[in-house]
A and B are shown apart, each in its own frame.
Chain A
Amino acid sequence: MSSETLSGPILTSDGIPLKVSLRKAEKRNKIRAFLLVLPLLAFILITFIIPIGDMLARSVDDRYINTVFPKTFEIYKKWDKQDLPPEEVYETMFFEINAAKGFKIGKASTRMNYSKSGWKSLIKKSQRKFKKIKEGPYKEQMIAIDKRWGDPLYWKALGEMVDPTTMGYYLNSVDLKYDSNKEIIAQPENRRIYNHTWIKTFKVSLLVTLFTLMLGYPIAYLLATLPLKYSNLLMICVLLPFWTSLLVRTVAWMIILQQNGVFNNLMVIAGLIADENRWKLMYNETGTIIVMTQILLPFMVLPLYSVMKTISPSYMKAALNLGASPLHAFWKVYMPNSLPGVSAGGLLVFIIAIGYFITPELVGGKDGQMIGNWIAYHLKTTLNWGLCAALGSVLLFVMLVFYWVYNKIIGVENIKLG
């Protein structure tokens, strides 16, 4: 047993235990440190943590429809899903549709339309015609107004909305859906759009990462090894794109890449391609890759540069001196030491690329759209925020998986930004 436990805790000269004294002395510093980071903490909380939490919640949230049809859903749950629902389901539905006004029923019917298209128009039509119905029983009268009320498929589609949460948005984001019995099935062939887009998003991001690495590595090497007066100039060239608006750069690329653009004109003038065979470099995947590579290049060069700057030139000299040819010395000595920069740059470019939106939007055309564009489309045009949130969450989740795999293979501590 140690002497400390025998004689009790160490005391300061005025008899207070040392640990208590120390804690008291440190407290001031801790409070000051906390106050210093507080503004940033609050900022991150409000602009980052809360929105992400909100996004995750929205992607499964199905409470709204439950507030419009609370009683209907209550009784609906007791239905055995055979044939048509009983009269009381029709009755409560009738009253709750009548009770819900304007905006409220519109939003609810949009939600219902996600699980079975046709619901929206059915509700709209019914709202008008329900005035004719004075008293029950309602079932036959409603079916008489519109025969869709007599279609079990419509009623079964309600089954996926009765819970306050739904996986429907997530299923939709990977081209799956619930069938009428709430079994998960693939979307019909003509409605599959996302899986194809996901694959393209990863493909484009990987290619862009690869191309920025191939183009950026030699530049970073030059930057790190040239004498200061040249490397400064080169550094300005690398950073110059940062000083130009992203939009301006993208539009400049449109001028260069279009079929009657600068690049094709030059190629025709040089006689390298025939006038009628001008290359399609824009409004397709090629355009997206070319422009994204250029725009994301600095994000690859800078981490590479800062790591390469720390590699002592004497390593290469030593390798040469020990008898390795320049290529061998580079491959065995320089390259392994630059890997932390490669992984940092690669991860950075990949993360930015995977959620990219403006460039594919402007130069991607139909073929070059990425998942970000679908998110924007649903956010602004269809207002299906649940699906936006699900797509965004999948993106976040995929990134976390990548990060985890990366950490397993290379180790996050090996990322170096200098």
Chain B
Amino acid sequence: MSEKDSFVKFENVDKSYDGESLVVKGLNLDIPQGEFLTMLGPSGSGKTTTLMMLAGFETPTSGEIYLEGEPISSIPPYKRGIGMVFQNYALFPHMTVNENLAFPLEVRKLEKSEVEEKVHKALSMVELQDFGTRMPLQLSGGQQQRVALARALVFEPRLVLMDEPLGALDKKLREQMQYEIKHIHENIGITVVYVTHDQSEALTMSNRIAVFNDGKIQQISTPDVLYEKPDNSFVAQFIGENNQIKGTVKSMNGKNCVVKTENGDEIVSLKINVNSVGETSLLSLRPERVWVNVDEKNYENNFEAKVEELIYLGDHVRTRVKVCGNDQFIVKIPNSSDQSDLKEGAKVKLSWKADDTRALDFKA
């Protein structure tokens, strides 16, 4: 692998706080220069610990982290030259916005004129030129967030880390900031490692997403691959909405397999994470890939279903049906005039393709 492809490299990194359990288990990860990589996972999955090890606030229990080919475990955080945006911004409350931004530059003993110029440039980047003399607490949450971002970038670090930086903002502001951060990343081409537990945030912003669970990376890939082709049931469940059907593998045939559900229905699906006949598998199927009352010829899987519940959501109707013994099965029906006669209790025919059905592992 070339130098550029592993700008940041985690090599067999383990981390334990208490000597009894591992928070991060044998982590291997390569981050190319200029990439926006998101670590996504539920709380306690090890993503923040991984970020803190990279920032230098935690030391790996074993293994090594490389930055531009150099091991950094023994370098203290203040010599790493890595920018970081903290969860609650961590703006220094006793300094003005300008002083906050000048702090990393003054520490580096830059000329006064140079400091002023860079501070101004950074504030312009986040469109807060006129707020330099304010104190952080006089700013709104979104403005504080931008100042924190500007401060992490003002000293032109090699790498910038973000630890759930948008967690404290309301939904609308959060979405707006997602685009802003994404654009800043595109404009200056800096490498970003971003931690979040919000999957839509991860999908919006990232080049690649590493899904963490239980101290391990479950799958690392681009957003579309993660959504369309999850490798295991955790990823399928964690990212996007997902119908799960439990069954037993009845037969395998090339890339496909047939899974028999508990009430005897046989579903043709892609063989992804099952190895042998007789194994228990969890089928994963996205709600928008299921069709109602269509021509059966084009689909491998066709089943009778009963409509249990209709939830009107404007652009689509979220429909809960009972099919293959599963009454939590969700179908998204686009809002068009010909579907409007669907009633609760009605019998419908559901169809979906084998290529959209993924036979994944089942963890009891």
**Per-residue CB proximity of B90-120 to A under 8 Å, as 1/0?**
1111100000000110011000000000000
Interface residues of B: mostly helix, strand, loop or mixed?
A: loop
Tell me which of B33-41, B76-84, B184-192, B255-263 binds A.
Answer: B76-84
**In the bound complex, CA of A329 to CA of B91 (Å):** 13
Q: How far is the CB of B256 from chain A (nearest CB, A)?
A: 51
Q: Can you list 28 A-B contacts (CB < 8 A)? A: A312-B90, A314-B87, A314-B88, A314-B90, A315-B90, A317-B55, A317-B84, A317-B86, A318-B90, A318-B92, A320-B57, A320-B77, A321-B77, A322-B78, A322-B83, A322-B103, A322-B107, A322-B151, A323-B78, A323-B79, A323-B107, A323-B155, A325-B78, A326-B78, A328-B107, A337-B92, A337-B93, A337-B94
Does A395 make an interface contact (CB < 8 A)? Answer: no
Q: How far is the CB of B356 from chain A (nearest CB, A)?
A: 44
**Per-residue CB proximity of B55-93 to A under 8 Å, as 1/0?**
111000000000000000000111101111011101111
Number of interface residues of A (CB under 8 A): 19
Q: Decide if A324 touches B86 in the complex (CB within 8 Å).
A: no
**In the bound complex, CA of A333 to CA of B82 (Å):** 19
**In the bound complex, CA of A322 to CA of B80 (Å):** 9
Q: Decide if B55 touches A324 in the complex (CB within 8 Å).
A: no
Q: Decide if A318 touches B78 in the complex (CB within 8 Å).
A: no
Does A332 make an interface contact (CB < 8 A)? Answer: yes
* Across-interface contacts of B77 in A (CB, < 8 A): 317, 320-321
Q: Decide if B107 touches A315 in the complex (CB within 8 Å).
A: no
* Across-interface contacts of A318 in B (CB, < 8 A): 84, 86, 90-92
Q: Decide if B103 touches A317 in the complex (CB within 8 Å).
A: no
Does A336 make an interface contact (CB < 8 A)? Answer: yes
**In the bound complex, CA of A397 to CA of B84 (Å):** 52
Q: How far is the CB of B139 from chain A (nearest CB, A)?
A: 16
With A329-B78, A332-B103, A333-B92: A321-B55 Cβ-Cβ less than 8 Å: yes
A317 and chain B: residue at smallest CB distance: B57
* Across-interface contacts of B84 in A (CB, < 8 A): 317-318, 321
Q: How far is the CB of B63 from chain A (nearest CB, A)?
A: 22
Does A56 make an interface contact (CB < 8 A)? Answer: no
Q: Decide if A322 touches B155 in the complex (CB within 8 Å).
A: yes
**In the bound complex, CA of A320 to CA of B107 (Å):** 10
With A322-B151, A323-B155: A317-B104 Cβ-Cβ less than 8 Å: no
Residues of B that sit less than 8 Å from A by CB: 55-57, 76-79, 81-84, 86-88, 90-94, 103-104, 107-108, 151, 155
Q: Decide if A315 touches B92 in the complex (CB within 8 Å).
A: yes
Does A295 make an interface contact (CB < 8 A)? Answer: no
Q: Decide if A321 touches B103 in the complex (CB within 8 Å).
A: no
**In the bound complex, CA of A206 to CA of B8 (Å):** 54
- Most chain B CB within a 10 A radius of its CB, from A329, A332, A336: A332
* Across-interface contacts of B57 in A (CB, < 8 A): 317, 320
Q: How far is the CB of B87 from chain A (nearest CB, A)?
A: 7
Does A319 make an interface contact (CB < 8 A)? Answer: yes
Q: How far is the CB of B103 from chain A (nearest CB, A)?
A: 6
Q: Decide if B90 touches A324 in the complex (CB within 8 Å).
A: no
A332 and chain B: residue at smallest CB distance: B103
Closest 6 CB pairs of A and B: A322-B104, A318-B90, A314-B90, A323-B107, A320-B77, A321-B84
* Across-interface contacts of A333 in B (CB, < 8 A): 92
Q: Which residue of A321, A336, A337 is within 8 Å of B83 (Cβ)? A: A321
Given contacts A320-B76, A323-B81, A324-B107, 6 further A-B contacts (CB under 8 A): A312-B88, A314-B86, A314-B90, A317-B86, A320-B57, A323-B78
* Across-interface contacts of A324 in B (CB, < 8 A): 78, 103-104, 107
* Across-interface contacts of B90 in A (CB, < 8 A): 312, 314-315, 317-318
With A315-B92, A318-B92, A333-B92: A323-B86 Cβ-Cβ less than 8 Å: no
A336 and chain B: residue at smallest CB distance: B94
With A324-B78, A336-B94: A319-B103 Cβ-Cβ less than 8 Å: yes
In chain A between 298 and 356, which residues have their CB closer than 8 angstroms to a CB of chain B?
312, 314-315, 317-326, 328-329, 332-333, 336-337
Q: Decide if B104 touches A323 in the complex (CB within 8 Å).
A: yes
* Across-interface contacts of A326 in B (CB, < 8 A): 78
**In the bound complex, CA of A337 to CA of B92 (Å):** 9
Q: Decide if B92 touches A321 in the complex (CB within 8 Å).
A: no
- Most chain A CB within a 10 A radius of its CB, from B76, B79, B81, B84: B84
B92 and chain A: residue at smallest CB distance: A333
* Across-interface contacts of A329 in B (CB, < 8 A): 78
**In the bound complex, CA of A318 to CA of B154 (Å):** 14
* Across-interface contacts of B78 in A (CB, < 8 A): 320-326, 329
B82 and chain A: residue at smallest CB distance: A321
**In the bound complex, CA of A322 to CA of B93 (Å):** 16
* Across-interface contacts of A314 in B (CB, < 8 A): 86-88, 90
Q: How far is the CB of A414 from chain B (nearest CB, A)?
A: 11
Q: How far is the CB of A410 from chain B (nearest CB, A)?
A: 13
**In the bound complex, CA of A336 to CA of B57 (Å):** 23
**In the bound complex, CA of A107 to CA of B91 (Å):** 68
**In the bound complex, CA of A350 to CA of B312 (Å):** 69
Q: How far is the CB of B192 from chain A (nearest CB, A)?
A: 15
**In the bound complex, CA of A332 to CA of B108 (Å):** 14
* Across-interface contacts of A321 in B (CB, < 8 A): 55-56, 77-78, 82-84
A333 and chain B: residue at smallest CB distance: B92
